[in-house]
Amino acid sequence: MRFSVGIDLGGTNIKAGLVSELGEIIQDIITPTNADSGEKAIASRISHTICQLINRGNSFGVGLQDIAGIGIGAAGLIEPVEGVVHFSPNFAGWHDIPLAGLVQEDLAQNSTNCKISALPIVLENDGNAMAFGELCHGAGVNVRNLVSLTLGTGVGGGIVIDGSIFHGSRNAGAELGHTIIQSNGRLCGCGNYGCLEAYVGRQYIIERTRRKIVAEGRYSSLEGNLNDLTPKMISDAAEKGDEVAVDIFVETGKCIGVALTSLAHILNPEMAIIGGGIADAGETLLFEPIRSELKKRAMDTNADSMRVVKAQLGNQAGLVGSAMLVFQN
């Protein structure tokens, strides 16, 4: 059995795991990213985590010779071959940071076993890594063409075509959160108007709930929680029949259905995988509205051939996907 190390480098935490080629996480570690500490400090924290995992692997009978490499997933514009982060929303001021090289240098300087630094490091956009994780060991097993959306503060995207991640000409492809769903819509964090992310990102879901209750004066069981609302609270209320909360998820589902209609027409994928915390709202609240909007809008063949399913790997998709990249290369 072969193994690899997968790293999901987020703005808040570094999640790392020693993963078998079957997608089983043998050991994992979560450590704070300290996003403001600079690229060298972050590379060093990643390298330290890698050494810890490899040492722990030893006690499970996984030797260095069994480890094929290291995969790192990070948000932003990533150059996978060179291992460079051109820019990242999680790390203000990062421009053209050779992250894979920095990690490798730190491993060479500090790992007690110098052979660790000889392991290949693959860097990938986190949305792409999640799509690849789901393809290898999640909802997309045996699927050749899929799109994936990860709903959170922002909306991550990934596209798999013929079993491989689609990068685009300069690795800036698959920014599915910036699919336009309203030509004169809300301002998005990217500077454009009407992007999917501007409608289904965490903050706007919360803001819209507040507005329905305060500005529109609708009754809701969430009235007492207006200052600390979370999508989870809104979905819990919706499950108990709160009408405002139900409307919020129906609207969110419709927005996603509109975006998927474009993707169904452009790519005709077999599957759309929806993950991230907001997807936990589940079948009735979220997935049925998505599917009915898609069915209403898309051409029959395009709608019928695209299954819309929930991600299976949960918040481990990025970690598992990053680890699997090593075996692809």
The residues of the shown chain that bind Zn ion, judged by CB under 5 A, are 178, 188, 190, 192, 195
The 3-state DSSP class for residue 195 equals: strand
Shortest gap between Cβ of 213 and Zn ion (angstroms)?
Answer: 27
**Which residue lies nearer to Zn ion by CB, 137 or 178?**
178
Shortest reach from residue 137's CB to Zn ion, in Å: 30
- Residues whose CB is less than 8 angstroms from the CB of residue 150 and which lie 6 or more positions away in sequence, other chains included: 127, 130, 156, 157, 158, 275, 276, 311, 317
Q: Give the nearest distance from C-beta 210 to Zn ion in angstroms.
A: 22
Shortest Å distance, C-beta 198 to Zn ion: 6
Of 189 and 282, which CB lies nearer to Zn ion in the complex structure?
189
The residues near 187 (Cβ < 8 Å, ≥ 6 apart) are 193, 198
**Nearest approach, Cβ of residue 287 and Zn ion (Å):** 24
CB 204 within 8 A of CB 256: no
Nearer to Zn ion, 181 or 326 (CB): 181
In the bound state with Zn ion, the residue whose beta carbon lies nearer, of 126 and 134, is 126
Tokens 């060298």 appear where? 40
Burial 19-34 (b: 16+ CB within 10 A, else e): bbbebebbbbbeeebe
111: its two tokens: 């790992």
Nearer to Zn ion by Cβ, of 31 and 192: the residue is: 192
Residue whose CB is less far from Zn ion, 81 or 187: 187
For residue 141, the minimal CB distance to Zn ion (Å) is 31
Name which of 133 and 154 has its Cβ closer to Zn ion.
154
Helix (H) or strand (E) holding 216: none
Q: CB-hemisphere CA count at 13 Å for 309?
A: 20
Residue 273 near residue 135 (C-beta atoms within 8 A): no
Dist CA 236 CA 36 (whole Å)? 34
Separation between Cα atoms, residue 106 and residue 51, nearest integer Å: 11
Would you put residue 168 in left (φ > 0), alpha (ψ -120 to 50) or beta? left
* Nearest-approach distance from CB 233 to Zn ion, in angstroms: 26
